[in-house]
A and B are shown apart, each in its own frame.
Chain A
Amino acid sequence: MTEGDDAPLQAPHSATDLFVSFTRLALQGFGGVLAVAQVELVERKRWLAREQFVEMLSISQVLPGPNIVNLALMLGDRHFGWRGAVAALGGLMLVPLLIVLALTLVYARFSDVPQVAGALRGMGAVAAGLVISTALKLVGTLRSNRMGRALCAAVALATFVAIAVFRVPLVWVIAGLGSLAVALAWMRLGS
């Protein structure tokens, strides 16, 4: 049953409802959960309006931690405080964690089989492609970035070179390049 985006908003009934709903949502997400979350929370459950989803996502993106985890925490916290946040996070993580650890054990037993090792190499290559395509999809959001395209490209390139080529620890990249970029953005926003 697919409901329209205009149907009246609903709220989770209980912390248990949050736990079960986030478990269902997580189990549908192969290679990332965010797309499934949009369909489930906005279109099926109607717990969030599309605008609220975007708003929560943009705050999630500013905060450290996976966006989907932060989104689950915010939604849970909004309805049932700490209990809701823990229920949503638990739903998102618990069953998938058991599945992924079971797969790890299975893999450890069969990693000598050439086909299994090959399958993992193939999936690894796809994983690299998925990360790269996520980055490319998000490049469009830089168009409206107030720092301007040239500066954005310079910051992204400098980050890539520092991490991928020179293997600089991330903490130094964020402290150095990150502070510089935020300072530049601060000046651009003031002018």
Chain B
Amino acid sequence: MTLSATDLLGLCAHFMLLSLLAVGGAITTASDMHRYLVVEHGWIGDAQFTASIAIAQAAPGPNVLFVAVLGWNVAGPLGALATMTGTLLPSTLLTLYTTRWAAQRRETRGVRAFTTGMAPLTLGLLLATGWILAEPFLREPGSRWGTLALVGVTVAVMLRSRLSPMWLVALGALVGVLGGV
């Protein structure tokens, strides 16, 4: 798909806004990326959205790279550039400028109120993101039980062992190849 320059700038601007809201990592804003890219603009479909995140999880490196895959699927190299610049630039500048500031004021009431108040919100966001990733599969009767089983096994293994997530991603791929989901 080709996007107009205006659409690309809008895409970049929206990801810049999300970059500054992504307390707890870019994945916490994935639900809003879904709303913007799939629901509002219809640039990519549900399956492609979830596949983008799965590809980034399957590859080595920071999970934030799913943002580049999303951009690529929307509008090729320029799309990837727009989403990656949008995601990284604002938070990077903010981090560099505030690191020393925050380090000196870690014990003040304002900073502590921020961390204390935002912690449960961040967890709620993570859970919502997990739900939004699984929900399209759960809606289809054909993949419902396989998905539930894989999510359950993943959660159980991650909470009980220190196994690298890499092996679970491989297990998911294997189950998928064999037609389990």
Q: Which residue of B lies closest to A73 (CB)?
A: B95
| Residues of chain B with a CB closer than 8 A to A124's CB | 50-51, 53-54, 133-134, 137, 172
- Complex CA–CA separation, A90 to B159 (angstroms): 32
Q: Is the CB of B35 within 8 A of A174?
A: no
Q: Which residue of A lies closest to B87 (CB)?
A: A65
Interface size class of B (residues with CB under 8 A): 35 or more
| A128-146 interface with B by 8 A CB criterion | 128-139, 141-142, 145-146
Q: Which residue of B lies closest to A153 (CB)?
A: B120
Q: Is the CB of A69 within 8 A of B159?
A: no
| B149-176 interface with A by 8 A CB criterion | 150-155, 158-159, 164-166, 168-169, 171-176
| Residues of chain A with a CB closer than 8 A to B124's CB | 155-160, 163
Q: Is the CB of A121 within 8 A of B109?
A: no
Q: Is the CB of B57 within 8 A of A103?
A: no
| Residues of chain B with a CB closer than 8 A to A120's CB | 50-51, 54-55, 173, 176
Interface assignment of B11: CB less than 8 Å from any CB of chain A: no
Q: Is the CB of A131 within 8 A of B158?
A: no
Q: Is the CB of B68 within 8 A of A136?
A: no
Interface assignment of B3: CB less than 8 Å from any CB of chain A: no
- Complex CA–CA separation, A126 to B134 (angstroms): 9
Interface assignment of A8: CB less than 8 Å from any CB of chain B: no
Q: How many A-B residue pairs have CB under 8 A?
A: 379
| Residues of chain B with a CB closer than 8 A to A130's CB | 57, 154, 158, 165, 168
Interface assignment of A177: CB less than 8 Å from any CB of chain B: yes
| Residues of chain A with a CB closer than 8 A to B122's CB | 61, 138
A31 and B159 in contact, given A26-B62, A139-B123 (Cβ under 8 angstroms): no
Q: Mark B136-147, 1 if CB is under 8 A from A, else 0.
A: 010000010011
A77 and B112 in contact, given A122-B150, A139-B123 (Cβ under 8 angstroms): no
- Complex CA–CA separation, A159 to B21 (angstroms): 14
Q: Is the CB of A145 within 8 A of B134?
A: no
Nearest Cβ on chain A to B94's Cβ, whole angstroms: 6
- Complex CA–CA separation, A64 to B16 (angstroms): 11
- Complex CA–CA separation, A68 to B65 (angstroms): 12
Q: Is the CB of A92 within 8 A of B130?
A: no
Q: Which residue of A lies closest to B67 (CB)?
A: A66
Where the two chains meet, the residues of A that have a C-beta atom closer than 8 Å to any C-beta of B are 26-33, 35, 55, 58-70, 73-74, 77, 82, 85, 89, 92-93, 95-97, 99-101, 103-104, 107, 111, 114-115, 117-139, 141-142, 145-147, 151-153, 155-160, 163-164, 167, 169-171, 173-174, 177-178, 181-186, 188-190
Where the two chains meet, the residues of B that have a C-beta atom closer than 8 Å to any C-beta of A are 17-29, 31-32, 35, 39, 50-65, 68-69, 72-73, 80, 84, 88, 90-92, 94-96, 98-99, 102-103, 106, 109-135, 137, 143, 146-147, 150-155, 158-159, 164-166, 168-169, 171-181
A-B contact pairs, 11 of them (CB 8 A): A31-B164, A63-B99, A70-B91, A118-B176, A121-B50, A129-B130, A129-B152, A129-B155, A131-B129, A164-B127, A178-B121
A-B pairs with lowest CB-CB distance, top 7: A96-B61, A122-B176, A129-B154, A159-B124, A65-B91, A31-B165, A30-B166
